[in-house]
């Protein structure tokens, strides 16, 4: 039987590997995956080193990474580590200090451990299912904001690649709708920042018009364990099969969802 507190400690040590590499290393090579979407040699190195560490300390748990894919099936197939080695790679490449390491332990359709490290800010966020969320050991709580007009809402990056123009019509419409109703709209370029800062109460809402599991799984758990509401744009509880990600402090959750639905 796995102890989530122990696995959260393992995850914390794992993301610290990436934390140190992001702070101490600049990319030597930048490779294009698709239209304007890149990865670097540092992404690959972080993923390789964290994969090796987790294989050593949790050999029975499978692993999937954004750059190198899934490991060979481990003896316990009910659990899998999911890693985004650098969330906010474009920021990292350009020297913008908004990038982080995001690691989730998933069991079926739910995340049971989530850890996000934001190296440039020396912040590490941790959550276990049912155990609350913490930053550097201090318990987190989502903001008490109850008025959309007094809220700061982060939005995910605009789309790239195939069908980007069509997808961005919706994203631009969302930006316009938010700009007309919220205090400020922000685009940090990292879902890890969006959800961790929602959990911490730095922002009041976050909308990502997609759902990439490795980018979002850890952050969704951290936000929920801090009291935020995380749904799909349809209003049902967010899961790995959701189309969109709508996350908000409880006081504005319904208002933000209604606004998103007016666009979607």
Task: Find the mean pLDDT for residues 154-175.
Answer: 92
Q: Is it the case that residue 76 has pLDDT exceeding 70?
A: no
Q: Is it the case that residue 93 has pLDDT exceeding 80?
A: yes
**Which pLDDT band, with edges at 50, 70 and 90, does 224 fall under?**
very high
203 vs 73, 140, 178, 200, 223, CA distance in Å? 39, 13, 14, 8, 11
Task: Find the mean pLDDT for residues 162-179.
Answer: 93
Q: Is it the case that residue 186 has pLDDT exceeding 60?
A: yes
pLDDT in the model for residue 78 = 84
Say how far apart CA 190 and CA 195 lie, in whole Å. 9
Q: What is the mean pLDDT of the chain?
A: 93
**Which pLDDT band, with edges at 50, 70 and 90, does 28 fall under?**
confident
* 10 alpha-carbon distance from chain centroid: 19
Token pair recorded at residue 81: 């580590």
Q: Is it the case that residue 82 has pLDDT exceeding 80?
A: yes
Say how far apart CA 96 and CA 157 lie, in whole Å. 15
Identify whether the C-beta of residue 112 lies closer than 8 Å to the C-beta of residue 58.
no
Task: Find the mean pLDDT for residues 32-59.
Answer: 88
Summarised one tens digit per residue, pLDDT across range 232-263 is: 999 999 998 999 999 999 999 999 999 999 99
Task: Find the mean pLDDT for residues 108-125.
Answer: 96
pLDDT in the model for residue 77 = 66
Task: Find the mean pLDDT for residues 101-106.
Answer: 97
Domains plus CATH for the chain?
A: 4-139 (3.30.540.10), 148-263 (3.40.190.80)
Q: What percent of the chain has pLDDT over 90?
A: 83
Q: Is it the case that residue 49 has pLDDT exceeding 90?
A: yes
Provide the 10 A C-beta neighbour count for residue 251: 18
pLDDT in the model for residue 29 = 87
Say how far apart CA 140 and CA 118 lie, in whole Å. 16
Say how far apart CA 24 and CA 204 lie, in whole Å. 32
Q: Is it the case that residue 1 has pLDDT exceeding 60?
A: no
pLDDT in the model for residue 11 = 98
pLDDT in the model for residue 37 = 72
Rg of the chain (C-alpha set) = 17
Say how far apart CA 70 and CA 198 lie, in whole Å. 30
């Amino acid at each position: 039987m796995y102890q989530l507190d122990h696995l959260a400690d393992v995850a914390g040590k794992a993301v610290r590997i990436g934390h140190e590499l992001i702070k101490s290393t600049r990319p030597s090579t930048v490779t294009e995956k698709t239209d304007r979407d890149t990865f670097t040699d540092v992404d690959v190195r972080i993923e390789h080193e964290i994969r090796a560490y987790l294989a050593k300390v949790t050999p029975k748990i499978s692993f999937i990474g954004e750059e190198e894919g899934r490991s060979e099936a481990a003896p316990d197939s009910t659990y899998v580590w999911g890693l985004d080695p650098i969330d906010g790679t474009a920021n990292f490449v350009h020297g913008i200090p908004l990038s982080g390491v995001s690691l989730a332990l998933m069991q079926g359709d739910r995340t049971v451990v989530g850890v996000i490290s934001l190296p440039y800010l020396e912040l590490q966020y941790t959550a276990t299912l049912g155990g609350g969320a913490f930053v550097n050991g201090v318990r987190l709580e989502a903001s008490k904001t109850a008025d959309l007009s007094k809220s700061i809402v982060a939005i995910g990056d605009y789309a790239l690649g195939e069908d980007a123009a069509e997808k961005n019509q919706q994203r631009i419409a969302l930006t316009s709708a938010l700009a007309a109703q919220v205090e400020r709209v922000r685009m940090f370029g990292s879902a890890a920042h969006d959800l961790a800062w929602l959990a911490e109460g730095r922002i009041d809402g976050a909308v990502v018009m997609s759902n990439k599991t490795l980018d979002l799984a850890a952050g969704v758990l951290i936000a929920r364990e801090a009291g935020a509401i995380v749904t799909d744009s349809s209003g049902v509880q967010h899961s790995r099969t959701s189309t969109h990600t709508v996350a908000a402090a409880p006081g504005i959750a319904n208002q933000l969802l209604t606004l998103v639905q007016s666009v979607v």
